[in-house]
Amino acid sequence: MAEPILKVDGLKKHYPICKGMFNKQVATRYVVDGVDIEVFPGETVALVGESGCGKTVLLRVLLGIEDPTEGEVYYYGKNLKEMSKQERREIRRKVQMIFQDAASALHPRFSILESLSEPLILGGMTDKAEIEKRVCETLEKVGMEPSYRFRNPDSLSGGQRQRILIARALVERPELILADEPISALDVSLQAQVLNLLMDLQEEYKLSMLFVAHDLAVVRQIATYILIMYAGHILESAPASEIYSNAMHPYTQVLLESAPSISKGVRNEDFNLNLKVGDAPDPANPPSGCVFHTRCVYADERCCCEVPQPVEVSPHHIVRCHKAKTAAEFAKELKKQDAEA
């Protein structure tokens, strides 16, 4: 089997909460708490979870913007912590990010040419004509006329700005893209266009992708493997087809039920039969036992005190739940009733 481009091993990111005159640490925010990920060449791994579950912090650690509290990040088998400056520079070229908010990710005073040239110049390219040629080629790849290079971001629509962000990630011809909810700020019609564009570019450039999203409908077309994240933990991970046909964790079932679809329309909160009313846990005060027990309708005493261990229920399908089978059977029954109604 090929070596993973990205491997994340037991990653934790905790933040101290300090108070008082001496800035003494009084508590800890457990934002990411033991995450494992592997992304193989040509694969799209989706990381799905609601806002505040730790996805964005995880991406910042993967990009080297923040150091992990514990755990390791490997690119091409090499530990990020042990890389020389030169090796880190090379990784920065091979691994690019697509940001969620195009409006704030592009400098308002920079022309598109300046914004797209910046990563090339930082990567060591000096020939102006060569840089401009690469920018024009990349704009065409994302379906925009090269003449757009003379425009500023505020003269573009939301969809065009998102294409520019994709172009900026691609301009250095990376091998791995980390995409932080790249279509969540767009209208539904534009979401489909941008998603199709990403899939075409992935095919053309043989890209690997870690695609972060907050709902399962968005990643259905694009993901080959899916990780379900909640309160800093991965609760279920499986090949995409397994998640959509045989989700076993109660939280994954909640996400599936609440995902909009053409046949169901947008479902309201009442349909989330597997979810107790309440907010996601506070990272400074995470629940004991299973992190999902405060919202799970199947929770019992064991769930409140014993952390569920990962169980591989079928090849590459891993679930952390004491009652995964009961929940999966209940979800199937609901689906059947839904289809008959």
Find all residues with CB under 8 Å of 331, minimum gap 6, and list them. 247, 253, 256, 274
Q: How far is the CB of 287 from ligand SF4 (least distance, A)?
A: 9
Q: How far is the CB of 274 from ligand SF4 (least distance, A)?
A: 9
Is 149 or 322 the residue whose CB approaches ligand SF4 more closely? 322
Find all residues with CB under 8 Å of 102, minimum gap 6, and list them. 153, 158, 161, 162, 164, 165, 185
Site for ligand SF4, rule CB under 6 A: 250, 290, 292-293, 296, 298-299, 303, 308, 321-323
Is 112 or 254 the residue whose CB approaches ligand SF4 more closely? 254
Q: 25 - beta bridge partners?
A: 18
Q: How far is the CB of 270 from ligand SF4 (least distance, A)?
A: 20
Please count the other Cβ atoms lying within 10 Å of the Cβ belonging to residue 72: 14
Is 32 or 291 the residue whose CB approaches ligand SF4 more closely? 291
Is 102 or 303 the residue whose CB approaches ligand SF4 more closely? 303
Is 243 or 321 the residue whose CB approaches ligand SF4 more closely? 321
Return phi, psi of residue 218, to 5°.
Answer: -60, -40
Q: 168 - beta bridge partners?
A: none
Q: How far is the CB of 254 from ligand SF4 (least distance, A)?
A: 10
Residue 270: C-alpha distances to residues 86, 175, 213, 274, 276 (Å): 53, 42, 22, 10, 10
Classify strands 44-48 and 208-213 as parallel, antiparallel or unpaired: parallel
Q: How far is the CB of 255 from ligand SF4 (least distance, A)?
A: 13
Strand-by-strand arrangement of the 208-213 sheet: 95-98, 176-180, 208-213, 44-48, 225-230, 233-239, 317-319, 311-314
Q: How far is the CB of 271 from ligand SF4 (least distance, A)?
A: 18
Is 199 or 280 the residue whose CB approaches ligand SF4 more closely? 280
Instruction: Please tell me what DSSP assigns to residue 296.
Output: B
